Amino acid sequence: MPDLPPEARPRPPLAKRVEHTQLLHGERRVDAYAWLRDRDDPEVTAYLEAENAYTEAMTAHSKPLQEQLYQEMLARIQEDDATVPVRRGEWLYHSRTEQGKAYPIFCRRRSSPDAPEEVYFDENAEAAGHEFYQLGALEVSPDHRLLAILEDVSGYEDFTLRVRDLVTGAWLADRVEKLGFGLAWASDNRTIFYATTDEAKRTDRVWRHVLGDAQSADAEVFHEPGVLNNVGVHRARSGAYVVITSSSFTDGEVHLVDAAHPAEPPVLVRARRDDVEYDVEPGADWLYVCTNEAAPNFKVMRAPLADPGAWEEWLPHRAEAFVEGVHVFQRFVVVQERQRGLRTLRVTDLEQGDTHDVEFPQAAYGVQVEANPEFNQSELRVTYSSLVTPDTVFDYGLRTRVRTERKKEPVLGGYDESAYAIERLEAVARDGTRVPVSLVYRTLFARDGSRPLLLYAYGSYGYTVEPTFNSHRVSLLDRGFAFAIAHVRGGQEMGRAWYDDGKMMQKMNTFTDFIDVADHLVRERYTSPERLAAHGGSAGGLLMGVVANLRPDLFRTIVADVPFVDVVSTMLDASIPLTAQEWLQWGNPQEPEAYACIRAYSPYDNVAPQAYPRLLVTSGINDSRVAFWEPAKWVARLRATATGTEPLLLKMNLGAGHGGASGRYERLREIAERYAFILEQ
């Protein structure tokens, strides 16, 4: 990678070099780059544009490789493709993509797969003229005559509600703006429930809109004043209720609205209690409740629909099985669990009273239970994959136990999964904890330390990274790379305790687990430090920032996407989206113990005069989850402090948010840019 003279590297304007100082818990904190928070300042825009120009110049030599990667990844994709139809009443719904079009087209057929196709929403047409476009919801009314959508054209996740008449194709006059996630139809096909956010972008209210009424006439249905809680709204699979949730990271409660009588007030299932979480799924006669009350790994209770607070035990707590959730149908209940780090499905036949587990063939895999919108169905739609097996959609007979494959993701260009191998390893962390590692590579693979390896992790919010397939990754594997997932603490791969041991005052375990996994892979000769790359995004980008500070010698290359790196500053400012409720995830630095913990790892606060690995940092100017100024400030401080000569690049998308580009071709080019940067090692 060529270097440019020092004068070509972006530097903050001299007029802006005004330090922001703060005395906190006896420490004087100095922030020389606080001015970068002002996105309306032309000098901030100019600085970000200079960073992009610098990155463009520093990567110009790799454009042929980027184009090669893009073309070969695109060549594996069947551009003209369609999803497996899903039955909803008398209609079969599916989506499809067309070559050259960036977004899906949503279609349906009445009754039969052979019936004429009806396009009811073409996302390409709606995205035309917008640099960015994403859907937050796409909900057809119970009578299948109307479509309600939530759309965002900035990336900031400010959604607009629009409604289309599917008979005439015309958009109704109804339009409600600045909404959060969450949308539900009532059974009258004219009442819609939606959610709004407060000044800190916390979803805090649910409203009821009647078609034809002005937004000013909409009724507030629920308000959550507690800054630690987020509100959600959805229609239950049974169709009998609109479900309103209010939850923090440690507790919550649920309210039910009779979908047949949407103007009636919501009914509370059970009042919140400290450190008790619960979710509900209405059945035909019972309400099924997944809760951690006196059950660290969660259990399933049930209650009569007429008395939702009268819980009784249905599936007891088991130390060896972490209950992730329940899927309730008229005649069956499917409990989604995790055992030995892998997802399992436990099926109970409510009529016959028997229970069995669904079996899966590989040692490391991922399973996703799909929407399954019909309440009265006897098959479960599931997507299965592994690190070598493309996404495979199948219907599982809940009573017959017969697995019927409906579609396997096509991987064009002669992909042969038998040419690749999977390993499931365990690395011993410094405190003796055994950390699972999922690994894939192309055979034959010599463990002599000569192979490059890309190590990925997330490790926060209890989110589990499944060892699933990605056709783009083949471009690395076929160039000799191994790819590994470190299932570090902070996720829930090994149960609820795995999550608890990687948050709040135990957060450092996430970072040291990743380092210990990397050390293990080097020690076992899967790779070597000069051939080891690391990648993570958002909270996983925080992980990248921490390991770059703690062990810069262990990694040759690090890619940090939308990284949450200025943790102290963000968690001190409750006006920033997500901050207040996340005090239960990271701690509140106004408290001395929490400050000491966060201060010890916050990447921005721990940049040191040392040589860093090659770094590519990405962000989006409209990101509402991790503000653009966090990575911008981090890179600025690294530029001023780091002593090494390796490239340090910031790529700021000036037209997108947290997820990057919205169109599938633009996203593919972003992946090609990252892969080219990694491959250059």
Identify the pLDDT of residue 18.
Answer: 60
CB atoms near residue 28 (< 10 Å):
8
CB atoms near residue 399 (< 10 Å):
14
Hunting for tokens 């990605």 — which residue is that?
470
pLDDT class for 14, splitting at 50, 70, 90? very low
CA–CA gap between residue 479 and residue 442 (Å, rounded): 9
Domain boundaries, the chain: 6-24+46-74+419-679, 84-129, 130-276
DSSP letter string, 440-472: EEESS---SS-S-EEEE----TT--------GG
Is the Cβ–Cβ distance between 243 and 265 less than 8 Å? no
Q: How confident is the model over 526-568, as pLDDT tens digits?
A: 999 999 999 999 999 999 999 999 999 999 999 999 999 999 9
pLDDT class for 3, splitting at 50, 70, 90? low
CA–CA gap between residue 423 and residue 482 (Å, rounded): 11
Q: Is-cis flag, bond preceding 444, omega within 30?
A: yes
Q: How confident is the model over 498-512, as pLDDT tens digits?
A: 999 999 999 999 999
Smallest CA-to-CA distance from 296 within 262, 263, 321, 266 is with 321
The length of the chain in residues reads 681
> Considering the chain, what is the average pLDDT of its residues?
95
DSSP letter for 556, please: S
Active-site pick, 538, 602, 619, 662: 538
H or E element, residue 48:
helix 42-58
Dihedral angle over CA of 465, 467, 468, 470, nearest 10? 90
Identify the pLDDT of residue 362.
Answer: 79
Smallest CA-to-CA distance from 645 within 611, 615, 679, 608 is with 611
Q: What average pLDDT does this structure show over 292-306?
A: 97
Q: For CA atoms 376, 404, 356, 299, give the dihedral sign.
A: negative
Phi, psi of 611 (to 5 degrees): -80, 130
CA–CA gap between residue 568 and residue 578 (Å, rounded): 14
Active-site pick, 187, 238, 658, 662: 658
3-state SS assignment for residue 163: strand
Hunting for tokens 């943790």 — which residue is that?
567
| pLDDT beyond 80 at 198 | yes
Poorest-confidence range of 89-98, 360-369, 504-513, 667-676?
360-369
The type of residue at 419 is A
Quote the radius of gyration of the chain (alpha carbons, Å): 25
| Strand-strand pairing, 134-140 and 118-122 | unpaired
pTM above 0.85, yes or no: yes
Dihedral angle over CA of 437, 341, 290, 253, nearest 10? -10
Poorest-confidence range of 395-399, 488-492, 574-578?
574-578
DSSP letter for 51, please: H
H or E element, residue 334:
strand 332-339
Distances in Å between the Cα of 260 and the Cα atoms of 141, 187, 221, 373, 600 are: 13, 5, 15, 18, 53
Hunting for tokens 């309440």 — which residue is that?
375
Instruction: Give me 612's structure tokens.
Output: 């860093």
Q: How confident is the model over 406-463, as pLDDT tens digits?
A: 999 999 999 999 999 999 999 999 999 999 999 999 999 999 999 999 999 999 999 9
Active-site pick, 251, 516, 566, 623: 623
3-state SS assignment for residue 383: strand
CATH of domain 130-276: 2.130.10.120
Fold of 6-24+46-74+419-679: Rossmann fold (3.40.50)
| pLDDT beyond 70 at 12 | no
Is the Cβ–Cβ distance between 287 and 333 less than 8 Å? no
Distances in Å between the Cα of 679 and the Cα atoms of 532, 615, 635, 676 are: 11, 13, 22, 5
CA–CA gap between residue 34 and residue 344 (Å, rounded): 47
Identify the pLDDT of residue 15.
Answer: 43
Poorest-confidence range of 31-40, 303-312, 447-456, 608-617?
31-40
Instruction: Give me 206's structure tokens.
Output: 């649910």
Cβ partners under 8 Å of residue 14, min gap 6: none
Q: How confident is the model over 201-237, as pLDDT tens digits?
A: 999 999 999 999 988 899 999 999 999 999 999 999 9
Smallest CA-to-CA distance from 570 within 555, 592, 590 is with 590
Instruction: Respond yes or no: is residue 198 known to be catalytic.
Output: no
Hunting for tokens 């064009």 — which residue is that?
412
Instruction: Respond yes or no: is residue 623 known to be catalytic.
Output: yes
Residue 542 backbone zone (phi > 0: left; psi -120 to 50: alpha; other: beta):
alpha
